[in-house]
């Protein structure tokens, strides 16, 4: 059976259904008997759901300094 530490390490993959069947069954067997890990998985699931529901931040426009460096690089002849 998996330890509490193994379950907490696998929690994200378990919730996102990225674990192999054997590992998923190991987590299920453990949380069936361990109230602490069951609560941890529930809290982790709620946290992930909340984070996934947030709007994605818009990309910041490039700074003028970055644009100027890009322009400088594009003006230089290829030394390759």
Q: Against a cut of 0.95, is the pTM above it?
A: no
pLDDT tens digits, 17-66: 999 999 999 999 999 999 999 999 999 999 999 999 999 888 888 888 88
Residue 56 CB neighbours (<10 A): 5
Confidence of residue 80 (pLDDT cuts 50, 70, 90): low
Per the listing, tokens 């002849």 go with: 77
pLDDT tens digits, 12-25: 999 999 999 999 99
The count of structural domains within the chain is 1
Q: What does the angle CA 15 – CA 21 – CA 24 come to, to the nearest 5 degrees?
A: 40
Q: Classify residue 77: in a domain, yes or no.
A: no
Q: Three-state DSSP class for 19?
A: coil
- Among 38, 43, 48, 40, which residue's Cα sits nearest to residue 17? 48
Q: Classify residue 65: in a domain, yes or no.
A: no
Q: Classify residue 69: in a domain, yes or no.
A: no
Check if the beta carbon of residue 42 is closer than 8 Å to that of residue 8.
Answer: no
Residue 35 domain boundaries: 1-54
């Amino acid at each position: 059976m998996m330890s509490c530490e193994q379950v907490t390490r696998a929690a994200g993959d378990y919730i996102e259904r990225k674990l192999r069947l054997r590992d998923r069954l190991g987590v299920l067997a453990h949380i069936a008997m361990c109230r602490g890990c069951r609560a941890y998985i529930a809290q982790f699931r709620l946290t992930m759901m909340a984070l996934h529901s947030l709007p994605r931040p818009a990309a910041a426009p490039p700074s003028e300094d970055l644009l100027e460096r890009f322009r400088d690089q594009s003006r230089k002849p290829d030394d390759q």
